[in-house]
A and B are shown apart, each in its own frame.
Chain A
């Protein structure tokens, strides 16, 4: 690790080369998730791998610097993908294709990037929450666990609050994971049906 708190390009390369199968799988799922969060990107033909490639490229080129080892590379790339659409004024930097850049900027996720940015973003956030809730229709326990995590509660607190054994909590966590996978691979808004 360099004296700087950020990883050098060589360190990023080494970390990318060392990614395990499991980490690659996580990145793919997360890329799919962020793509779904930007539905207009899907319509415009952008794929999950484009988002991931963009995040890796930005990290390699130092545009999004990785705070290693404080943050794992998978988490870092997750956050870069999350904010990938926040580059309105950097067109033509050669990092992403013009088409992808335009698609990304066109579909800026207002709700995440600009929390106070108007009614449209708030309506979109509400709709997104409802989509997630519908995804959990039929599994209220899993939704409650997810909501507790969103409130910042630790697993032990949640188990106590919802009276779940350790085993039951693990089972619920697996169900939430499956919902996440489902969220990413459903075509359009199919999971609402």
Chain B
């Protein structure tokens, strides 16, 4: 160890850079294993990060996700996510499927189904949306507008989606009222015309 005091400071600086380099260079698998080895959950670390970015961007009028800007109003964008999440859950439960069942039938990762249902910041990829429309035998592009991948969203549309999401209570079996709610909402999605601008 060097005795010169300024060298001690430099030494720490170099050590710190080297230490962090092992993180920067780590593969996803090694990173996940290291996080798990210390009793932490790598998935929650990523989810928290996304939520933080979403929050910070939302304050500035941006929305997080890979689909680019859709509704200018972030609240509306989040409403769409809520709507998609609630709709997928209800449709899945209507069929009596688990997340794993749905993932298998739609040929997508079960993690993606889980994130669609529970992560309000998650933007599913277009293939998954298409697959889900096929599995649930929905008219084409019924889910696309909720996924955030399509431009043009009126305030009325977002309001309707939010009303649906709020009413879609989480119970193990759909009751008659929920079935009616679900059917009406699917009908609304498949018949309402996409808006070109804000209403």
Contacts and interface: CB of A to CB of B under 8 A. Distances in A.
Interface of A: 13, 16-30, 33, 37, 49, 52-53, 56-57, 60, 72, 74-75, 78, 111-112, 115-116, 119, 121-122, 125-126, 128-129, 132, 146-147, 149-152, 173-174, 176-178, 180-183, 185
Interface of B is mostly: helix
Contacts of A183: 19
Main secondary structure on A side of the interface with B: helix
A150 B42 CA distance: 27
B11 to A, nearest CB: 6
Given A25-B45, A149-B18, A182-B38, A30 B23 contact: yes
B16 interface: yes
Interface stretch (B26-34, B96-104, B168-176): B26-34
Interface stretch (B59-67, B74-82, B157-165, B191-199): B59-67
A180 B34 CA distance: 9
B65 A129 contact: no
Contacts, number: 156
Contacts of A149: 18, 21-22
Interface residues of B, number: 49
A49 to B, nearest CB: 6
Q: What are the nearest 5 A-B pairs in CB distance?
A: A24-B49, A21-B46, A149-B18, A150-B18, A150-B14
A13 B31 contact: no
13 contacts: A13-B57, A25-B28, A25-B32, A29-B31, A74-B24, A78-B24, A112-B13, A115-B9, A129-B1, A129-B12, A146-B19, A173-B26, A181-B35
B53 A122 contact: no
B47 to A, nearest CB: 8
A91 B142 CA distance: 50
Nearest to A135: B19
Contacts of A74: 24
B45 A24 contact: yes
B135 interface: no
A119 B8 CA distance: 11
Contacts of B25: 173
A111 B15 CA distance: 13
